[in-house]
Structure 1
Amino acid sequence: MPESAPARPSARQSARAAIASVADQDSFRELALPEQGLREERLDGPLAWQGYADSRARAEARTGERESVVCGTATVGGTRAVIASFEFGFLGGSLGERTGDRLEAAHRHAREHRLPFVSLIATGGSRMQEGVRALVQLQRVARQSELTGAAGLPRIAVLRDPTTGGGWATLGAGADLILALPGSQVGFAGSRVRPADSDPAAYTAEAQLAAGAIDDVVRPEELRDALGLRLRLLSAPASTTTPPEPPAALGRTDLPATGWEAVSRARAPERPRAAAYLDAHFTERAPLRGDRCGGTDPGMLCGFGLREGRTVAYAAQCGTATTPAGYRTAARLVRLAGRLGLPVLTLVDTPGAANGAEAERAGAGAAIADLFAAVASAPVPVTSLVIGEGGSGGALALAAPGNLWATPDSYFSVIAPELATAILKRGGDETRSTAEQLRLRPQDLVELGVARGMVT
């Protein structure tokens, strides 16, 4: 194995051991699933695959399970949830018709009882001994997952080793939040069907995190707490009519006298940034990372936080030029919050959208447009606070129409003063006077009706 490939777990947990590793003690209750003993099958399955019945019998004897997934309810960190845990020892955790039966019944139970859905995945994909009848279970599982999501219930996946094929492309990648164990194989292509010259490191949890496909890699000993926190935050009752309060200002409280002073304050390296605001405002936080399209932006912090017993989704710029991946991640956050009925807080702080050739190739305009649309159509209240630079449309895309606030050490402008000076063909010595003309100070924003007020 190349040095760049993280070490894979030395042993695979059984389905029930995986459940025990995250569930509160003695809280798991297996669901009475309707397919057990009821589905009529040929001896060797729908394809009459010679030896399939014997393979199933050996798998049952080896694992003590009748199918590749165990489904039930449990409390995790005090939150009740439906759990579907894959048994890799049963024919490689593959999905067959009975697997589909169980997963459909589990999703139905989650919707009927208003419970979040947790998938503990360890699978090699669809079961070849059942052919296309097994393959179409992916459509069935995807539909059930979407129905659960549309019902406003959170779906969280935990990727174990391995998570490949259809299990990754449905329950895994289709979840709202995705955690993974270190070193786990994660990818649509399993180890035996990849090109011979493939880099194994590209098919790991760590690689998927870097590519924006999952939200976090969590060590086994931390998984119970990490999963419990996310279930608690995403399942907490929320008021969808009361906007979140804007955070208190952490920097200066006196107002800038001139436009250029406002710009200088916002650009000062000592000014408090988004991470400081989030730490001060929330007692607990869980991140949401990645645009699910191959990109991440460390300058856009997204996630869910607890504020005085209320869960609030947040998207916060960190003072850097925001990339297309950052805008897409924020749009993903806003839409998920809307579906779960959670209010949204955004912190605006960017000199503007990234505007290099790479950003254009990555679809900067489309990504910004998508965030504008997500904020404009959000079915939950959105509150925005400008904490630093408000650079043109790249900042405005994250701003709530009609509920924008500003700190005393911030500014918001149609364009940066330097760029406005250049466009107007003025000399560089006129930048300060141009900043004054742009009326970009926080108090100007209030007078112009763009901001509701200033926080102190």
Structure 2
Amino acid sequence: MAERLSARRILALVADDFAELPYPERKDGPDGPLGWPGYGTARALAAARTGERESVVCGTGTVGGPGGTRAVLMAFEFGFLGGSLGQRTGDRLQAAYAYARAHRLPVVPLVATGGSRMQEGMPALTQLQRVARQSVLTREAGLPQVAVVRDPTTGGGWATLGAGADVVLALPGAQVGFAGSRVRPPDADPAAYTAEAQVAAGSADAVVRPGELRETLARWLRLLTAASSAPAPVPEALGAPAAPAGGWEAVRRARAPERPRARAYLDAYFTERVAVSGDRCGGADPEGMLCGFGTRDGRTVAYAAQTGTATRPAGYRTAARLIRLADRLGIPVLTLVDTPGAANDAEAERQGVGPAIADLFAAVASARTPVTTLVIGEGGSGGALALAAPGNTWATPDSYFSVIAPELAAAILKRPPQEVAATADQLRPAPGDLAELGVIRTGDH
């Protein structure tokens, strides 16, 4: 079991100069809205044991030391009735969200909760709607929300404050899942309800050790609060400098194993970067689509980069999530195109590859923040085009972009294998051809 940190300990771990916010006062009967026998006594005992008057502590603090980012922090105290959400908890959370919007501060929920408070019945459960509304208003205000899920984070707290955040960081070994340990099927695999499992399933972005949490959280807040209206600069080409002789030569170059891939471009482009992982729909494609935020010339740029493999549905959905988050925060986006095409196996179809590509097309088409694209390798049909910025796409000399792979085009046309190269030339997929056709941009960038 992971170490269970109190609210005050987690606050001290991540922030300096924490100042608690004033809380709304609520008057009700001694045993709450249901008159639950002994509830008032249980609250009093919880207060005496923890030193807190409610299950959440809200305030402001600077994350990252001097020069760090001021944020609104909401730290749950699991020792207070299991960190459960009641009406007073909802009062505090709503006030904290409102303060964040009024003062243009990012929000950091530090979650450790068993869910809604049974002794308050449905009035407690409806606090989830209240919290969800505050989160939406904060999102619409263009303010980032970075959650840290601790041990345990279950029930409605996970389904709102945790999983509903823009970025989800988790402490190692933490119990994280909608179903708490006492309400799961008896044969449920406990490994599925962990921080590590949630990252693997695409529901959280990273597991972070407590000793690294302050630095990691500071980096995320610094990157997500640095809006910019200028487009992302186009990366310099890292591979062959000369243009290919024709279409087939372009295809061969793009498929060469020694050709620079996405990670090399990202390493050369950014001075630091953090990764967004998962599509929040049960999937991740960490090897096929790299997404995140980084620092370039002192400002933040978001990135979504294909790695040269067939892109999985989760990869497309993660990229769409990344672009929409960057758009909401006013951060420019860089996309790197490099895929032979979308995954076309039966499992990809079952996972909704078509709708996933459609959603990415829509995310790029609707983005108000500038999107810059560089084709760095293979540009295989619609699975590549979905990531490309209309009117602002560039290409390296060792890349190609084609309506279809030349082998598949030859097969459709019932041509023999020896005519694949000639078919590739006819498709005109080389960078020079693409420039003449008006598909990509050329010149100074």
C-alpha distance in 2 between matches for 1:194 and 1:149: 32
1:256 is aligned to 244
Is residue 15–residue 214 contact of structure 2 (8 Å, CA) maintained in 1?
yes
C-alpha distance in 2 between matches for 1:285 and 1:149: 22
2:300 is aligned to 311
Is residue 410–residue 417 contact of structure 2 (8 Å, CA) maintained in 1?
yes
Is residue 323–residue 364 contact of structure 2 (8 Å, CA) maintained in 1?
yes
C-alpha distance in 1 between matches for 2:197 and 2:291: 20
State the Cα distance separating 1:54 from its structure 2 match.
Answer: 0.4
1:21 to 2, 13, 35: 13
- Equivalent positions of 1:189-200 (< 5 A) are 189-200=179-190
C-alpha distance in 1 between matches for 2:126 and 2:143: 24
2:411 is aligned to 422
2:39 is aligned to 52
State the Cα distance separating 1:400 from its structure 2 match.
Answer: 0.2
- Equivalent positions of 1:75-86 (< 5 A) are 75-77=62-64, 78-86=68-76
Gaps in structure 2 of 5+ consecutive residues: none
C-alpha distance in 1 between matches for 2:433 and 2:237: 18
1:401 matches 2:390: yes
Letter in 1 for 2:201: A
2:350 to 361, 377, 396: 361
1:370 to 341, 355, 359: 359
Quick one: structure 1 residues 19 and 167, their matched pair in 2 at CA, closer, same or farther if it must change by over 3 Å? same
State the Cα distance separating 1:258 from its structure 2 match.
Answer: 1.8
Letter in 2 for 1:192: R
Is residue 157–residue 172 contact of structure 1 (8 Å, CA) maintained in 2?
yes
State the Cα distance separating 1:445 from its structure 2 match.
Answer: 0.8
State the Cα distance separating 1:380 from its structure 2 match.
Answer: 0.6
1:74 is aligned to 61
2:322 to 326, 330, 333: 333
- Equivalent positions of 1:85-124 (< 5 A) are 85-124=75-114
2:275 is aligned to 287
Quick one: structure 1 residues 364 and 204, their matched pair in 2 at CA, closer, same or farther if it must change by over 3 Å? same
2:223 is aligned to 233
Identical amino acids, percent of aligned pairs: 75
C-alpha distance in 2 between matches for 1:442 and 1:251: 14
C-alpha distance in 2 between matches for 1:196 and 1:275: 43
1:184 matches 2:174: yes
C-alpha distance in 2 between matches for 1:254 and 1:404: 19
Letter in 1 for 2:313: P
Is residue 125–residue 167 contact of structure 1 (8 Å, CA) maintained in 2?
yes
Deviations 1:351-393 (CA, angstroms, capped at 9, x unpaired) = 0000111111111111100000100010111000000000000
Letter in 1 for 2:46: A
1:33 matches 2:23: yes
State the Cα distance separating 1:309 from its structure 2 match.
Answer: 1.3
1:134 to 101, 105, 124: 124
1:216 is aligned to 206
State the Cα distance separating 1:34 from its structure 2 match.
Answer: 2.1
State the Cα distance separating 1:40 from its structure 2 match.
Answer: 1.1
1:322 matches 2:284: no
TM-score by length of 2: 0.98
C-alpha distance in 2 between matches for 1:97 and 1:375: 40
Letter in 2 for 1:21: L
Is residue 378–residue 401 contact of structure 2 (8 Å, CA) maintained in 1?
yes
Is residue 112–residue 153 contact of structure 2 (8 Å, CA) maintained in 1?
yes
Gaps in structure 1 of 5+ consecutive residues: 1-7
| Secondary structure of the structure 1 residue equivalent to 2:58 | strand
1:155 is aligned to 145
Deviations 1:235-275 (CA, angstroms, capped at 9, x unpaired) = 11x222x2111100111111111211111110011111001
How many residues are paired up? 441
| Secondary structure of the structure 1 residue equivalent to 2:160 | helix
Is residue 228–residue 300 contact of structure 2 (8 Å, CA) maintained in 1?
no
C-alpha distance in 2 between matches for 1:455 and 1:113: 41
State the Cα distance separating 1:454 from its structure 2 match.
Answer: 6.5
1:244 matches 2:232: yes
1:277 to 260, 265, 283: 265
